[in-house]
Amino acid sequence: MPPSTPDFVNSPPWLALAALQAGMQAQGTRISSLFATDANRTRDFSLEAAGILLDYSRHLLTREARDRLLALANAAALPAAIQAMFDGEVVNNTEKRPALHVALRSPRRDTVQERAVHAALDRMDVFVDQVLEGTWRGYSGLRITDVVNIGIGGSDLGPAMVHAALTPYHQAALRCHFVSNVDPLHLEQTLAGLDAASTLFIIASKTFTTLETVLNAEAARRWVLASGAPAAQLGRHFVAVSANVEKACAFGIDAANVFPMWDWVGGRYSLWSAIGLPVALGSGMARFRELLAGAHAMDEHFRSAPLAGNMPVILALLNLWYTNFWGAQSKVILPYAQNLHLFPAFLQQLDMESLGKQVRLDGSSLQTASGSILWGSAGTNGQHSFHQLLHQGSMLIPADFIAVAHSHSSNDEQHRQLLANCLAQGRAMMEGLGMEQARAQLLAQGLDADSAVALAPHKAIPGSRPSSTLLLQELSPYTLGALIALYEHKVYVHSLLLGINAFDQWGVELGKVLGKEIHAAMQDESAASGLDASTRMLLQRIEQSRTL
């Protein structure tokens, strides 16, 4: 697909949206007033796809604003661009690659990619069976009891998040662990208490050159050897997932035990490939395939639904609306499910590595806001921490609430409390508490009139703070797959609206190069002369502290 980035900030739909937002702000439009004047708002501002209900009625979004956002989407020729991704066109123009993560969850069909994907899935099937049935054993003949995934970024966040989300589906006989950080304590603390003879490492790295992963893999190899494993038996304890078979083999992994990755799948979109091996080992291959099926259902929705009824498109338009027209600098992700506690961290890479760009596809500078800051944590914990800022802070921070109707817990009553809290937070953000209301409440509580007047401003909540609610029937592999794919596609649509490349990440490279320079200066003082004064001073202080 040729890069086409029209001057959208001066385009008629963009200017119309800017004017509309200014009018809404000047009139003080409140979300609750949009309900008061529109009896069909919840019906017409909600969507269902792949087992997920999206309620986006609690937004600063009039019907006219939605129409104008959809006009912007049409002007960006979204349907053609969406199809281009599915067709394997070169949507990642700076790296001259397609972005075909959708092929990873496509049913068996006869394209080159899909043949490769299904051959890899079949290999995963065999391997998972071997480990779970105990035909794959460690060097001393023990069954594998612990799997340690060593990887970082997309080679860690996706599988770690999904593994945690699927806790109710875990196989009792196998524990999975995830090591990512170059901080040596991460690996050491993970291995403490594990028996090398029954531990299997997955070295997950698309490039097999990532510093953190290579260093942790080498340390893991030393640990296994130190336990008494004969060097010739190391292969019983290491498999890899990589596009760089040569490097994986040079590390000492048998080529037959290197599961493939492909350059047409970006790291942060790779959990559907053999990067998901810890998920398949932890919950079983059947569950992994259900995850793929859920994602595929969302793919089909994304590819075929008209823009106005297309869930990823609506989420992307909302994101753009707040970031580019209302000045929102962040959005908060609030999964009301403890098992989704890693979901915000996973989305941080997906969203911020994809949308944190300063130029458009053609290299011209992006004249407006890029993607925004994404953060969050599992509810209800945040209610006792950062929700104060959501309710009374000065910033507009749109929220995505994720609720799960059925729990895997038998404690249904407590699960109802969780759901009630989730719905209450969205409602509190929308309705707020007026000054008069606050004062009346304080008087009703027995406060004297002067104290009530003094305290009311502290208690009042502005409200009209926007949120979406995504309701999952249950947190199953299928709905989880659909949920992740939903956000993947939202990110792609957002990138199309801005005219940027969602699939490269050049900004992370400089730090890697400078890290090497500074590491060299730690070994050889003369290499420090080219460093800046602050870095030199800190290096000196580090050296002094280390020799104390």
Active site positions, annotated:
353, 384, 512
**Run of H or E including 250:** helix 245-251
Residues of 39-51 as b/e, b for ≥16 C-beta within 10 angstroms? eebeeebbbebbb
C-beta of 45 vs 262, nearer to ligand F6P = 262
Give dist(CA 399, CA 375) in Å, integer: 10
Site for ligand F6P (CB under 6 A): which residue of 21, 180, 213, 324?
A: 213
C-beta of 54 vs 275, nearer to ligand F6P = 275
**Run of H or E including 47:** strand 46-49
**Cα 113–116–119 angle (5° rounding)?**
150
Positions 353 through 392 that interact with ligand F6P (CB under 6 A): 353
User: What is the SS3 assignment for 98?
Assistant: coil
- Residue 294 makes contact with ligand F6P by CB under 6 A: no
Kindly write out the interface string for residues 30-49 of this chain, putting x where it contacts ligand F6P by CB under 6 A and - elsewhere. Answer: --------------------
Site for ligand F6P (CB under 6 A): which residue of 144, 248, 505, 521?
A: 505
Positions 151 through 180 that interact with ligand F6P (CB under 6 A): 152-155
Among the residue ranges 202-210, 397-405, 461-469, 537-545, the one whose residues contact ligand F6P (CB under 6 A): 202-210
C-beta of 11 vs 244, nearer to ligand F6P = 244
Count how many Cα atoms sit within 13 Å of the Cα of residue 369 in the half-sphere of its side chain: 17
Phi and psi based region of residue 363 (left: phi greater than 0; alpha: psi -120 to 50; beta: remaining):
left
C-beta of 5 vs 370, nearer to ligand F6P = 370
Which residue's CB atom is positioned nearest to ligand F6P? 267
Give dist(CA 281, CA 132) in Å, integer: 7
Contact 159, 278 (CB under 8 A): yes
Positions 299 through 358 that interact with ligand F6P (CB under 6 A): 353
Among the residue ranges 111-119, 148-156, 167-175, 535-543, the one whose residues contact ligand F6P (CB under 6 A): 148-156
C-beta of 106 vs 213, nearer to ligand F6P = 213
In this structure, what is the dihedral angle of CA atoms 445, 450, 454, 460, given to the nearest 10 degrees?
Answer: 40
Site for ligand F6P (CB under 6 A): which residue of 51, 98, 159, 267?
A: 267
Report, in Å, the least distance between residue 206 CB and ligand F6P.
Answer: 4
C-beta of 267 vs 432, nearer to ligand F6P = 267
Contact 470, 47 (CB under 8 A): no
Size of the site for ligand F6P (CB under 6 A): 14
Report, in Å, the least distance between residue 118 CB and ligand F6P.
Answer: 22
Report, in Å, the least distance between residue 156 CB and ligand F6P.
Answer: 8
Identify the DSSP state of 107.
P
Strands 330-335, 258-260: pairing is unpaired
Q: What is the DSSP string of 416-439?
A: HHHHHHHHHHHHHHHH-B-HHHHH
Site for ligand F6P (CB under 6 A): which residue of 66, 105, 206, 236?
A: 206
When computed from its CA atoms, the radius of gyration of the chain, rounded to whole angstroms, is 26
Phi and psi based region of residue 153 (left: phi greater than 0; alpha: psi -120 to 50; beta: remaining):
left
- Residue 216 makes contact with ligand F6P by CB under 6 A: no
Among the residue ranges 200-208, 283-291, 340-348, 482-490, the one whose residues contact ligand F6P (CB under 6 A): 200-208
C-beta of 323 vs 505, nearer to ligand F6P = 505
- Residue 210 makes contact with ligand F6P by CB under 6 A: yes
Give dist(CA 200, CA 235) in Å, integer: 9
Contacts with ligand F6P by CB under 6 A lie at: 152-155, 205-207, 210, 213, 267-268, 353, 505, 508
